[in-house]
Amino acid sequence: MLEKLFSLGYSKAFAERYYELWGERALAIAEAMEKPLPRCFRVNTLRIEVPRLTKLLNKKGFQFKRVPWAREGFCLTREPFSITSTPEYLSGLLYIQEASSMYPPVALEPKPGEVIADMAAAPGGKTSYLAQLMENEGIIYAFDVGEDRLKETRLNLSRLGVTNTVLFHKSSLHIDELGVEFDKILLDAPCTGSGTIHKNPERKANRTMDDIKFCQGLQMQLLEKGLSALKKGGVLVYSTCSLEPEENEFVIQWVLDNFDVELLPLRYGEPALTRPFGIELSEEIKKARRFYPDRHGTSGFFVAKIKKLE
């Protein structure tokens, strides 16, 4: 079993970790990540209704199936030519987005008129979905540190017709400087990206435990800042595209231990791990969810929904 993981290119340390976490299933997860994901897209209801766009695409020979957790989301089953060369794509009627990435905005349940923060916004996929769910009403404060990625975000938001978003070329570690109390916050946190091997195969071998520890420290800092800027009774959705418990369950356990919060249940995905590496965590952590390439046909993904208590 470990030899098979080595043969796929995983370092000894990570092959052993994954075997300890999932046993024989580790190989099924690793093999699923060798395959490209289906191309998925979201209908941009700021510009067009879902039935109208799906009819337009069907007439051109595109076929697709619905993403279970996103009523505007579809994954292509037949793509006669690149969907990104269609007028529908170019005019912002749809946005290419992985199915798992559609879940955090849906889980946050933003409403028109609310004040929302997106703490790591580039390239704008989740930000634009938040705006869509808010019907462009209310305001989104969107942060990112990468200048080039922010340019891409600005172009995406413009193409998609998003008008309720203010972009900040700044780390959201400075979110408290705005003096704003947020109704809801999305933190799709910087992470090691070990759930995205299908598009970043080099991560099988070049990641280290130091990388995980660095990301965990940053994730905790961001969560602390986000929770301090959240209204009492407000909700923060935390997500990563990492498989590592240190960036997921252990971070959420730390939040439960140190802040006056509760986890809210999520409907989709598998329950998060409560005994990773034999370490006992709160049973509450099952309310957070994991998505796996072998079961869900998505990236490896983690989502938790945190409510700040009154």
Helix 147-160 and helix 125-133, axial crossing angle in degrees, nearest 10? 30
Consult the annotation and say whether 124 binds a ligand. yes
Contacts of 98 (CB under 8 A, 6+ apart): 37, 40, 298, 299
Q: Which of 222, 223, 226, 190 is nearest to 116 (CA)?
A: 226
C-alpha 118/C-alpha 185 separation (Å) is: 6
**What 8-state DSSP symbol labels residue 190?**
-
| Phi/psi of residue 137, nearest 5 degrees | -110, 150
30 is in an annotated binding site: no
Alpha helices (H) in 161-208, listed in sequence order: 203-206
Catalytic residues: 241
Q: Tell me: is residue 293 an annotated ligand-binding position.
A: no
Establish whether 125 is an annotated binding residue. yes
Helix (H), strand (E) at residue 54: helix 50-59
Rounded to whole angstroms, how far apart are CA atoms 289 and 286? 7
Question: What is the SS3 assignment for 48?
Answer: coil
Q: Is 111 annotated as a binding residue?
A: no
The residue type of 188 is: D
Residue type, 302: F
Report the alpha-carbon distance of residue 16 to residue 91 in Å, rounded. Answer: 47
**Displacement of CA 156 from its chain's centroid (Å):** 17
Residue 173 backbone phi and psi in degrees, to 5: -60, -15
Specify the DSSP element, H or E, that contains 290.
strand 289-291
Tell me the two tokens of residue 112.
């028109």
The reply to whether 126 sits in an annotated binding site is yes
d(CA 154, CA 123): 8
Annotated binding residues: 120-126, 144, 188
Annotated binding residues for S-adenosyl-L-methionine: 120-126, 144, 188
